[in-house]
Chain A
Amino acid sequence: MADVARAADFRTRLQQWIPKLVLSPSLAAILFFVYGFIFFTVYLSFTGSKMLPRYDWIGIENYVRLWGLSHWWTAITNLGIFASLYIIFCTLIGLALAIFLDQKIRGEGMLRPIYLYPMALSFIVTGTAWKWFLDPGIGLEQTMHLWGWESFEFGWIKDRDMAIYTVVIAAVWQTSGFVMAMFLAGLRGIDNELLKAAQIDGASNWNLYRRIVIPLLRPAFLSAFVILAHLAVKSYDLVIALTGGGPGRATELPATFMYSYTFTRNSMGIGASSAVIMLMTIAAIMVPYLYSELRERK
């Protein structure tokens, strides 16, 4: 065996090495900037770092303090509300639009880009638009009043209890079209003969979708869920642009919490520990998903 390997000519051996050489810069970058940095941040979360990183090991104190902060609890609760509503509404709207668009709709070519374009916008732009649109003084409420509907009230964005729902509205506006596209692709991938067979079996449209089409869209549901869930945990820009985390702390999310504790409140250790918890949340969703996806391909 060794004899044969030694006999390989220079060119063959070179050709075996080049691919690995080509891959190595990217690999090194990922290992250092992603996994090295994750390790570093995890380490920091066990130190007493304040404004600058310090390397004194203080155990899980940061985590204990973190979970004792009402500010963090607000952020976590908000994330729970935001993520679940965001995922549910994006999925429902995306699925409904996709099924409706799949009914040989005239003007589909016009509608599809209209549904999709918000995806191309920055969350900062989305936030700017919705911030003002929802502002009771000059936006929707004011317009309704001018149109004579004096009792109309929509002041959620200024309301501590309701402000988080405005973040949901703006986020759903931005992403639901993308989810629609995912479902539409799934629908177009279903074999038409299957649908014809079901109709010959006497299935109504309702049953056709409930019993056959929607179960077949399982992969699209899974992809949509994974993408939306990880976007929800990472949400930062939109809150900054729409509410700035306010009123008060009413719309703080873990992402904004991490940023303010690390860079403005000089509690880097606590900031790091909150980042670790965000990472763990995403890993709990992504790792099983990626693992099964990569398995399937083999």
Chain B
Amino acid sequence: MGFLDIRDVTKFYGQTEVLHRINISIEEDEFLVLVGPSGCGKSTLLNMIAGLESITSGEVSIRGRVINGVHPSQRNIAMVFQSYALYPNMTVGKNITFGLEMHGVSRHEREEALLDVAKLLQIDHLLDRKPGQLSGGQRQRVAMGRALVRKPDVFLFDEPLSNLDAKLRVDMRTEIKKLHEKLKTTIVYVTHDQIEAMTLSTRIAVLEQGHIQQLGTPQEIYNTPANVFVGRFMGSPAMNVIPARVAVQEGVPFACVTDSGDGEQLLRFSQANLAGWDGREILLGIRPEAITDPEGADRGSTNVVSLRNRIGVTEPAGSDTFVTMTLGGIDVTARMRADVNVCRGDTVDLAFNMDKAVAFDPETEKRIES
């Protein structure tokens, strides 16, 4: 049994099932990110943990205590909202200590707790201001302060960075990560931003249409996505999913793909068990950074396959150059080094790091286990 357990939890709005039998067990000090496109049910799940939405069936427990039906304020949780939800009529200090006041904590203790938190978040100089006078980043800190001061069992974050501009978002991301490492708190964090999910979490749950698509560490999710959806959703630019056919030569499986000139090219798989798929169609999943110019190929890889193809649009992005080409009848993105000298229409050698490639069953879209 974990620290925070979500067992067989479902949610219905009328007849519509928006969450299907969710099971997640979260350990103490873990940073779990719920990620998915909008409408996938991630915020609903968070609100159910908070007690802001009722649980249709199943159980949620914290420290072994079932909290279904327990009032939000009695669950020993704290929440940071997307809009920060700072009380506009109260000063920063009052905002932070309001929860303590509601729980009957004495003024003296409140003051002390406030000063601790304010120092931790470096907002001591803002305590007498109203939220309206704060910048976005400062509001974000106050919202976190309000959560921290309660010393809750579990912190819930509902897309806390989505209202910040790009630069600040990256800074605050780092800050949240530092805070977690320093305070060793249990966090459930909802976002639609897969980079946030990758950078912050110790584990990720990818949700779509009310189902958990995959639950695992960021590396597991990124390297061995459970299905096409997870592969495409995590990572930017998205994973290439190329229609291919398995061809076995001397017991070794190859992916057979059509190139831009309608010729067939072979890419040797690193996974030997794919030999069982001989002659069948599959989907070849390969991330842009696994398709490079030959000089940029990963030297640690055991299986780099070279392939000649004509390239289309090139997009220099500063640190890399993204190159688009046609492969298997679809647009495929490759990630080359910044100073690579290629032009539209050139036919060039490409290096495929097949160690990083995965294969999906086109019927179920699930990854074929190796």
Contact = CB atoms under 8 A, between A and B. Distances in A.
A and B touch in the complex (CB under 8 A): yes
Interface of A: 1, 4-9, 11-12, 15
Contacts of B56: 1, 4
Interface stretch (B63-71, B207-215, B308-316): B63-71
A294 to B, nearest CB: 20
B69 A9 contact: yes
A9 B54 contact: no
A4 B71 contact: no
Contact of B70 (A1, A5, A6, A12): A12
Contacts of A6: 69
A7 B66 contact: yes
Interface string B28-71: 00000000000000000000000100111100000000101111
> Which 8 A-B pairs give the minimum distances between C-beta atoms?
A8-B69, A7-B69, A11-B71, A12-B71, A7-B68, A4-B68, A9-B70, A4-B55
B16 interface: no
A72 B166 CA distance: 71
A11 B68 contact: no
A218 to B, nearest CB: 32
Contacts of A7: 66, 68-69
A243 to B, nearest CB: 52
B341 interface: no
A135 B364 CA distance: 90
20 contacts: A1-B56, A1-B57, A4-B54, A4-B55, A4-B56, A4-B57, A4-B69, A5-B54, A5-B69, A6-B69, A7-B68, A7-B69, A9-B70, A9-B71, A9-B74, A11-B71, A11-B73, A11-B74, A12-B70, A12-B71
Nearest to B51: A12
A232 to B, nearest CB: 42
B77 to A, nearest CB: 14
A1 B55 CA distance: 8
Contacts of B57: 1, 4
Contacts of A15: 71
Instruction: Find the residue from B55, B57, B69, B73 having the highest chain A CB count within 10 A.
Output: B69
Given A7-B69, A8-B70, 18 more contacts: A4-B54, A4-B56, A4-B57, A4-B68, A4-B69, A5-B54, A7-B68, A8-B68, A9-B69, A9-B70, A9-B74, A11-B71, A11-B73, A11-B74, A12-B51, A12-B70, A12-B71, A15-B71
A7 to B, nearest CB: 4
Contacts of A9: 69-71, 74
Interface string B60-102: 0000001011110110000000000000000000000000000
Instruction: Find the residue from B66, B68, B73, B74 having the highest chain A CB count within 10 A.
Output: B68
A12 B70 CA distance: 7
Contacts of B74: 9, 11
Contacts of A4: 54-57, 68-69
B352 to A, nearest CB: 50
Contacts of B51: 12
B368 to A, nearest CB: 39
B157 to A, nearest CB: 23
A222 to B, nearest CB: 32
B153 to A, nearest CB: 17
Nearest to A7: B69
A9 to B, nearest CB: 5
A8 B66 CA distance: 11
Interface in B333-367: none
Contacts of A5: 54, 69
Interface in B234-249: none
A293 B56 CA distance: 33
A4 B68 CA distance: 6
Nearest to A11: B71
A12 B53 CA distance: 11
A5 B51 CA distance: 13
A6 B68 CA distance: 10
A4 B8 CA distance: 13
Interface string B98-139: 000000000000000000000000000000000000000000
A4 B12 CA distance: 13
Nearest to A16: B54
Instruction: Find the residue from A1, A4, A8 having the highest chain B CB count within 10 A.
Output: A4
Contacts of B70: 8-9, 12
B258 to A, nearest CB: 49
B202 to A, nearest CB: 30
Nearest to A6: B69
A105 B56 CA distance: 60
A43 B71 CA distance: 48
A154 B56 CA distance: 75
A7 B54 CA distance: 11
Nearest to B66: A7
A7 B55 CA distance: 11
A11 B70 CA distance: 8
A171 B105 CA distance: 61
A9 B73 CA distance: 12
A4 B59 CA distance: 8
A101 B56 CA distance: 57
